[in-house]
Protein backbone atom coordinates (compact mmCIF):
# COMPACT_ATOMS: atom_id res chain seq x y z
CA UNK A 1 0.00 0.00 0.00
CA UNK A 2 3.01 2.25 -0.36
CA UNK A 3 1.59 4.00 -3.38
CA UNK A 4 -1.17 5.72 -1.47
CA UNK A 5 -1.27 9.47 -0.97
CA UNK A 6 -1.39 9.71 2.81
CA UNK A 7 -0.25 13.01 4.27
CA UNK A 8 2.26 12.52 7.12
CA UNK A 9 2.21 14.69 10.27
CA UNK A 10 3.09 18.28 9.52
CA UNK A 11 6.81 18.99 10.02
CA UNK A 12 7.80 15.37 10.81
CA UNK A 13 8.53 14.17 7.27
CA UNK A 14 9.49 15.78 3.95
CA UNK A 15 8.87 14.91 0.31
CA UNK A 16 12.29 14.19 -1.22
CA UNK A 17 11.15 13.13 -4.67
CA UNK A 18 12.34 16.27 -6.46
CA UNK A 19 15.69 16.18 -4.64
CA UNK A 20 16.14 12.51 -5.58
CA UNK A 21 15.47 13.25 -9.26
CA UNK A 22 17.88 16.15 -9.19
CA UNK A 23 20.64 14.11 -7.53
CA UNK A 24 20.13 11.31 -10.03
CA UNK A 25 20.52 13.74 -12.93
CA UNK A 26 23.56 15.27 -11.27
CA UNK A 27 25.13 11.80 -10.93
CA UNK A 28 24.60 11.17 -14.64
CA UNK A 29 26.23 14.50 -15.42
CA UNK A 30 29.21 13.63 -13.20
CA UNK A 31 29.63 10.32 -15.03
CA UNK A 32 29.58 12.19 -18.34
CA UNK A 33 32.16 14.61 -16.99
CA UNK A 34 34.40 11.72 -15.88
CA UNK A 35 34.41 10.24 -19.40
CA UNK A 36 35.44 13.50 -21.04
CA UNK A 37 37.65 14.57 -18.16
CA UNK A 38 40.86 15.02 -20.14
CA UNK A 39 39.30 17.09 -22.91
CA UNK A 40 37.24 19.25 -20.56
CA UNK A 41 40.11 19.73 -18.13
CA UNK A 42 42.21 21.18 -20.94
CA UNK A 43 39.52 23.65 -21.90
CA UNK A 44 38.68 24.52 -18.26
CA UNK A 45 35.01 23.62 -18.58
CA UNK A 46 35.04 20.62 -16.24
CA UNK A 47 35.99 22.62 -13.18
CA UNK A 48 33.19 25.13 -13.62
CA UNK A 49 30.54 22.46 -14.35
CA UNK A 50 31.56 20.38 -11.35
CA UNK A 51 31.58 23.48 -9.18
CA UNK A 52 28.07 24.41 -10.34
CA UNK A 53 26.74 20.89 -9.67
CA UNK A 54 28.35 20.81 -6.21
CA UNK A 55 26.94 24.23 -5.32
CA UNK A 56 23.40 23.20 -6.40
CA UNK A 57 23.71 19.95 -4.49
CA UNK A 58 24.75 21.77 -1.30
CA UNK A 59 21.92 24.28 -1.70
CA UNK A 60 19.34 21.49 -2.05
CA UNK A 61 20.86 19.67 0.93
CA UNK A 62 20.60 22.79 3.07
CA UNK A 63 17.00 23.37 1.94
CA UNK A 64 16.00 20.01 3.48
CA UNK A 65 16.29 21.57 6.96
CA UNK A 66 14.37 24.71 7.86
CA UNK A 67 16.44 26.67 10.36
CA UNK A 68 13.41 28.67 11.51
CA UNK A 69 11.54 25.61 12.75
CA UNK A 70 12.52 24.77 16.33
CA UNK A 71 11.60 21.90 18.61
CA UNK A 72 11.03 19.52 15.68
CA UNK A 73 12.80 16.16 15.40
CA UNK A 74 12.93 15.34 11.72
CA UNK A 75 14.57 12.00 12.33
CA UNK A 76 11.83 10.88 14.72
CA UNK A 77 10.21 7.62 13.75
CA UNK A 78 6.48 8.09 12.97
CA UNK A 79 3.94 6.11 15.03
CA UNK A 80 2.92 2.63 13.92
CA UNK A 81 -0.70 3.58 13.26
CA UNK A 82 0.32 5.71 10.24
CA UNK A 83 0.35 2.51 8.17
CA UNK A 84 -3.18 1.70 9.35
CA UNK A 85 -4.35 5.14 8.15
CA UNK A 86 -2.74 4.34 4.81
CA UNK A 87 -4.76 1.11 4.59
CA UNK A 88 -8.01 2.84 5.57
CA UNK A 89 -7.60 5.61 2.99
CA UNK A 90 -6.90 3.01 0.32
CA UNK A 91 -10.08 1.14 1.28
CA UNK A 92 -12.06 4.39 1.13
CA UNK A 93 -10.82 5.11 -2.39
CA UNK A 94 -11.77 1.58 -3.46
CA UNK A 95 -15.22 1.90 -1.84
CA UNK A 96 -15.83 5.22 -3.59
CA UNK A 97 -14.89 3.85 -7.00
CA UNK A 98 -16.94 0.67 -6.54
CA UNK A 99 -20.03 2.60 -5.43
CA UNK A 100 -19.73 4.85 -8.49
CA UNK A 101 -19.42 1.80 -10.77
CA UNK A 102 -22.39 0.12 -9.09
CA UNK A 103 -24.55 3.23 -9.55
CA UNK A 104 -23.60 3.41 -13.21
CA UNK A 105 -24.53 -0.23 -13.86
CA UNK A 106 -27.80 0.10 -11.93
CA UNK A 107 -28.80 3.21 -13.86
CA UNK A 108 -27.97 1.50 -17.14
CA UNK A 109 -30.09 -1.49 -16.20
CA UNK A 110 -33.02 0.69 -15.13
CA UNK A 111 -32.87 2.69 -18.36
CA UNK A 112 -32.77 -0.41 -20.57
CA UNK A 113 -34.84 -3.19 -18.97
CA UNK A 114 -34.42 -6.41 -20.93
CA UNK A 115 -33.73 -10.13 -20.52
CA UNK A 116 -30.86 -10.45 -22.98
CA UNK A 117 -27.49 -11.98 -22.18
CA UNK A 118 -26.00 -8.53 -21.71
CA UNK A 119 -28.48 -7.68 -18.99
CA UNK A 120 -27.85 -11.05 -17.33
CA UNK A 121 -24.14 -10.19 -17.18
CA UNK A 122 -25.06 -6.80 -15.71
CA UNK A 123 -27.07 -8.53 -13.00
CA UNK A 124 -24.04 -10.67 -12.17
CA UNK A 125 -21.87 -7.54 -12.05
CA UNK A 126 -24.35 -5.84 -9.71
CA UNK A 127 -24.29 -8.83 -7.39
CA UNK A 128 -20.49 -9.05 -7.42
CA UNK A 129 -20.06 -5.32 -6.80
CA UNK A 130 -22.57 -5.40 -3.94
CA UNK A 131 -20.76 -8.25 -2.23
CA UNK A 132 -17.38 -6.63 -2.84
CA UNK A 133 -18.51 -3.30 -1.38
CA UNK A 134 -19.93 -5.09 1.67
CA UNK A 135 -16.60 -6.85 2.23
CA UNK A 136 -14.77 -3.55 1.85
CA UNK A 137 -16.99 -1.96 4.50
CA UNK A 138 -16.26 -4.84 6.87
CA UNK A 139 -12.53 -4.55 6.21
CA UNK A 140 -12.57 -0.78 6.78
CA UNK A 141 -14.46 -1.27 10.02
CA UNK A 142 -11.87 -3.79 11.23
CA UNK A 143 -9.05 -1.40 10.31
CA UNK A 144 -10.67 1.44 12.29
CA UNK A 145 -11.01 -0.86 15.29
CA UNK A 146 -7.33 -1.79 14.89
CA UNK A 147 -6.49 1.92 14.82
CA UNK A 148 -8.42 2.38 18.05
CA UNK A 149 -6.55 -0.45 19.76
CA UNK A 150 -3.08 0.73 18.63
CA UNK A 151 -0.85 2.83 20.92
CA UNK A 152 -3.37 3.18 23.73
CA UNK A 153 -0.55 4.03 26.16
CA UNK A 154 0.56 7.07 24.19
CA UNK A 155 -0.27 10.49 25.61
CA UNK A 156 0.04 14.03 24.45
CA UNK A 157 -0.36 15.49 20.98
CA UNK A 158 0.02 12.15 19.16
CA UNK A 159 -2.85 10.64 21.11
CA UNK A 160 -5.05 13.65 20.34
CA UNK A 161 -4.15 13.36 16.65
CA UNK A 162 -4.99 9.66 16.69
CA UNK A 163 -8.39 10.31 18.29
CA UNK A 164 -9.19 13.02 15.74
CA UNK A 165 -8.19 10.71 12.90
CA UNK A 166 -10.43 7.95 14.30
CA UNK A 167 -13.39 10.34 14.49
CA UNK A 168 -12.76 11.51 10.92
CA UNK A 169 -12.48 7.94 9.64
CA UNK A 170 -15.70 6.89 11.37
CA UNK A 171 -17.53 9.90 9.92
CA UNK A 172 -16.24 9.09 6.42
CA UNK A 173 -17.25 5.44 6.77
CA UNK A 174 -20.73 6.46 7.95
CA UNK A 175 -21.12 8.79 4.96
CA UNK A 176 -20.13 6.03 2.54
CA UNK A 177 -22.54 3.63 4.25
CA UNK A 178 -25.37 6.14 4.03
CA UNK A 179 -24.65 6.79 0.35
CA UNK A 180 -24.56 3.08 -0.42
CA UNK A 181 -27.76 2.45 1.53
CA UNK A 182 -29.61 5.28 -0.23
CA UNK A 183 -28.49 4.10 -3.67
CA UNK A 184 -29.58 0.54 -2.92
CA UNK A 185 -32.96 1.73 -1.63
CA UNK A 186 -33.52 3.84 -4.76
CA UNK A 187 -32.58 0.90 -6.97
CA UNK A 188 -35.02 -1.36 -5.11
CA UNK A 189 -37.78 1.22 -5.41
CA UNK A 190 -37.26 1.54 -9.16
CA UNK A 191 -37.19 -2.23 -9.56
CA UNK A 192 -40.43 -2.51 -7.63
CA UNK A 193 -42.10 0.13 -9.79
CA UNK A 194 -40.90 -1.59 -12.97
CA UNK A 195 -42.17 -4.96 -11.77
CA UNK A 196 -45.58 -3.43 -11.02
CA UNK A 197 -45.66 -1.92 -14.50
CA UNK A 198 -44.77 -5.29 -16.04
CA UNK A 199 -47.50 -7.05 -14.08
CA UNK A 200 -50.01 -4.44 -15.23
CA UNK A 201 -48.97 -4.95 -18.86
CA UNK A 202 -49.25 -8.71 -18.46
CA UNK A 203 -52.79 -8.42 -17.11
CA UNK A 204 -53.82 -6.04 -19.90
CA UNK A 205 -52.38 -8.39 -22.53
CA UNK A 206 -54.23 -11.39 -21.13
CA UNK A 207 -57.54 -9.51 -21.05
CA UNK A 208 -57.14 -8.20 -24.59
CA UNK A 209 -56.06 -11.49 -26.07
CA UNK A 210 -58.50 -13.82 -24.31
CA UNK A 211 -58.93 -17.23 -26.00
CA UNK A 212 -62.60 -16.63 -26.60
CA UNK A 213 -61.92 -13.40 -28.51
CA UNK A 214 -58.92 -14.49 -30.59
CA UNK A 215 -59.94 -15.51 -34.07
CA UNK A 216 -58.29 -18.40 -35.83
CA UNK A 217 -56.56 -16.03 -38.22
CA UNK A 218 -54.64 -14.41 -35.32
CA UNK A 219 -53.36 -17.64 -33.82
CA UNK A 220 -49.74 -16.74 -34.53
CA UNK A 221 -50.13 -13.40 -32.76
CA UNK A 222 -51.55 -15.12 -29.67
CA UNK A 223 -48.50 -17.40 -29.52
CA UNK A 224 -46.26 -14.35 -29.52
CA UNK A 225 -48.27 -12.82 -26.70
CA UNK A 226 -47.97 -16.00 -24.63
CA UNK A 227 -44.23 -16.01 -25.22
CA UNK A 228 -44.06 -12.40 -24.06
CA UNK A 229 -45.96 -13.32 -20.91
CA UNK A 230 -43.47 -16.09 -20.16
CA UNK A 231 -40.58 -13.73 -20.71
CA UNK A 232 -42.13 -11.18 -18.37
CA UNK A 233 -42.51 -13.85 -15.72
CA UNK A 234 -38.84 -14.71 -16.12
CA UNK A 235 -37.86 -11.06 -15.73
CA UNK A 236 -40.03 -10.81 -12.61
CA UNK A 237 -38.32 -13.82 -11.05
CA UNK A 238 -34.89 -12.43 -11.82
CA UNK A 239 -35.78 -9.10 -10.26
CA UNK A 240 -37.16 -10.81 -7.19
CA UNK A 241 -33.82 -12.57 -6.77
CA UNK A 242 -32.03 -9.24 -7.10
CA UNK A 243 -34.32 -7.70 -4.52
CA UNK A 244 -33.53 -10.53 -2.11
CA UNK A 245 -29.79 -10.09 -2.62
CA UNK A 246 -29.96 -6.34 -2.16
CA UNK A 247 -32.08 -6.73 0.97
CA UNK A 248 -29.44 -9.12 2.30
CA UNK A 249 -26.75 -6.52 1.69
CA UNK A 250 -28.89 -3.90 3.44
CA UNK A 251 -29.18 -6.20 6.45
CA UNK A 252 -25.41 -6.53 6.50
CA UNK A 253 -25.13 -2.75 6.37
CA UNK A 254 -27.48 -2.59 9.33
CA UNK A 255 -25.12 -4.88 11.20
CA UNK A 256 -22.22 -2.60 10.37
CA UNK A 257 -24.16 0.41 11.69
CA UNK A 258 -24.85 -1.51 14.90
CA UNK A 259 -21.16 -2.30 15.30
CA UNK A 260 -20.26 1.36 14.81
CA UNK A 261 -22.87 2.32 17.42
CA UNK A 262 -21.38 -0.21 19.84
CA UNK A 263 -17.92 1.27 19.23
CA UNK A 264 -19.24 4.73 20.06
CA UNK A 265 -20.91 3.35 23.21
CA UNK A 266 -17.61 1.74 24.25
CA UNK A 267 -15.86 5.07 23.90
CA UNK A 268 -18.56 6.66 26.06
CA UNK A 269 -18.09 4.01 28.76
CA UNK A 270 -14.34 4.67 28.79
CA UNK A 271 -14.96 8.39 29.29
CA UNK A 272 -17.43 7.60 32.10
CA UNK A 273 -14.79 5.45 33.81
CA UNK A 274 -12.27 8.27 33.58
CA UNK A 275 -14.78 10.71 35.12
CA UNK A 276 -15.55 8.21 37.88
CA UNK A 277 -11.86 7.72 38.70
CA UNK A 278 -11.32 11.48 38.86
CA UNK A 279 -14.28 11.96 41.21
CA UNK A 280 -13.21 9.00 43.33
CA UNK A 281 -9.66 10.36 43.67
CA UNK A 282 -11.00 13.79 44.66
CA UNK A 283 -13.16 12.24 47.42
CA UNK A 284 -10.15 10.28 48.69
CA UNK A 285 -8.05 13.45 48.79
CA UNK A 286 -10.77 15.22 50.77
CA UNK A 287 -10.99 12.35 53.27
CA UNK A 288 -7.19 12.35 53.68
CA UNK A 289 -7.23 16.10 54.32
CA UNK A 290 -9.86 15.65 56.99
CA UNK A 291 -7.77 12.91 58.64
CA UNK A 292 -4.71 15.17 58.72
CA UNK A 293 -6.74 17.99 60.24
CA UNK A 294 -8.08 15.66 62.93
CA UNK A 295 -4.56 14.46 63.75
CA UNK A 296 -3.39 18.05 64.03
CA UNK A 297 -6.21 18.90 66.42
CA UNK A 298 -5.40 15.81 68.46
CA UNK A 299 -1.75 16.77 68.77
CA UNK A 300 -2.67 20.28 69.83
CA UNK A 301 -5.08 19.05 72.49
CA UNK A 302 -2.80 16.36 73.94
CA UNK A 303 -1.98 16.91 77.66
CA UNK A 304 1.38 15.21 77.42
CA UNK A 305 2.55 17.78 74.93
CA UNK A 306 1.44 20.58 77.26
CA UNK A 307 3.33 18.97 80.16
CA UNK A 308 6.48 18.58 78.11
CA UNK A 309 6.35 22.20 77.04
CA UNK A 310 5.80 23.28 80.66
CA UNK A 311 8.73 21.22 81.95
CA UNK A 312 10.95 22.54 79.21
CA UNK A 313 10.08 26.10 80.18
CA UNK A 314 10.71 25.34 83.85
CA UNK A 315 14.08 23.81 83.07
CA UNK A 316 15.07 26.88 81.10
CA UNK A 317 13.99 29.07 84.03
CA UNK A 318 16.10 27.04 86.48
CA UNK A 319 19.14 27.26 84.24
CA UNK A 320 18.78 31.02 84.02
CA UNK A 321 18.32 31.22 87.80
CA UNK A 322 21.49 29.20 88.46
CA UNK A 323 23.45 31.40 86.10
CA UNK A 324 22.23 34.54 87.84
CA UNK A 325 23.04 33.25 91.34
CA UNK A 326 26.61 32.36 90.37
CA UNK A 327 27.37 35.69 88.81
Question: Which residue ranges make up each domain of the chain?
Answer: 17-63, 81-255
Compute the distance between CA of residue 311 and CA of residue 318 in angstroms, rounded to an integer: 10
- pLDDT score, position 194: 64
What is the average pLDDT value for the chain, to the nearest integer?
Answer: 71
Residue 4 in contact with residue 86, Cβ under 8 Å?
Answer: yes
Inform me whether the pLDDT recorded for 55 exceeds 70. no
pTM of this structure: 0.42
Transcribe 24-50 into DSSP letters: HHHHHHHHHHHHTHHHHHHHTHHHHHH
Each residue's pLDDT tens digit, 112-154: 765 544 456 777 888 888 888 888 888 888 888 888 887 655 5
Task: Of 15-19, 87-91, 199-203, give the lowest mean pLDDT range.
Answer: 199-203
Compute the distance between CA of residue 290 and CA of residue 302 in angstroms, rounded to an integer: 18
Q: Is 90 helix (H, G, I), strand (E, B) or coil?
A: helix
Each residue's pLDDT tens digit, 188-221: 787 777 665 555 444 444 444 444 444 444 444 5
Compute the distance between CA of residue 186 and CA of residue 204 in angstroms, rounded to an integer: 27
Look at domain 81-255 and name its CATH class.
Answer: mainly alpha
Amino acid sequence: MGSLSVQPPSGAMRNLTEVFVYLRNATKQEQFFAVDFEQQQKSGKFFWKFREVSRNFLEDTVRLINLNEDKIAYNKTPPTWINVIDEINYEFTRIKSRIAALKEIQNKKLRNPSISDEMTSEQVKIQELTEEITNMFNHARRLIRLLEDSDNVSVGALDEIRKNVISNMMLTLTNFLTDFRVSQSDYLRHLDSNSKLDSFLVKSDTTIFAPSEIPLVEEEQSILQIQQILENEHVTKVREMEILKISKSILEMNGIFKDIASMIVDQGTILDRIDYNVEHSSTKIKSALESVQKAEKYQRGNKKMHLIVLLAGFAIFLILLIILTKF
